Amino acid sequence: MPTNDKDFKAKLGALPIAHQRHVGALFVQRVLPFSSDVQLKAALELALRADASDAELTGAYQAANTARVESFTRCGSVCDWADQAGHFVAKAVVACVRPAAEGEFGNSSLAWEAAMSARMARTCQTVASGVGTENREAEEQYRILSAFLNK
């Protein structure tokens, strides 16, 4: 089981892309309740399917990306942290269903991007609830990856 993010990132980056989608989707499942967008739920279910076609992924990616862009908090608007948690859920889902043709960014991977956005969703929800800054999302992600690798 990874014990730090350097190890976690390296293990995620070494996974084949289909596995990255799957494990990324498992991370996002934990924070999906922060969004009420049904298209995100459908996109996440697709990411969990091993037989998802490129055309299906492209459609899901477009829908999830629209949800992500529409949920930005605009400059000058008051921030609702619960809504902002939903934005990061959308961002995490976008990473999970990004078609291979869209390429990758820098030295990160789809699953790492999904993990980081899922953590931000949890952080926003924590801010919204006003109960401090602590959460255990990283440890839960380590546990999910470990269980996935040991299957």
Q: State how far the Cα of 142 lies from the Cα of 63, in Å rounded to an integer.
A: 29
Query: Per CB under 8 A, which region of 26-34, 46-54, 72-80, 143-151 contacts another protein?
Result: 72-80
Q: Is 133 in the site for another protein (CB under 8 A)?
A: yes
Q: Is 74 in the site for another protein (CB under 8 A)?
A: yes
Q: State how far the Cα of 92 lies from the Cα of 69, in Å rounded to an integer.
A: 12
Q: Which two tokens stand for residue 136?
A: 């255990």
- Residue with smaller CB distance to another protein, 49 or 126: 126
- Residue with smaller CB distance to another protein, 47 or 67: 67
Q: What letter represents residue 127's amino acid?
A: V
In eight-state DSSP terms, residue 50 is T
Contacts of 63 (CB under 8 A, 6+ apart): 39, 40, 42, 43
Q: Is 136 in the site for another protein (CB under 8 A)?
A: no
φ and ψ at residue 137, rounded to 5 degrees? -65, -40
Instruction: Give, as ranges, the residues between 4 and 63 that touch another protein (CB under 8 A).
Output: 4-6
* Residues contributing to the site for another protein (CB under 8 A): 4-6, 65-66, 69-70, 72-79, 81, 84, 87, 102-103, 105-108, 116, 119-120, 123-124, 126-127, 130, 133-134, 138
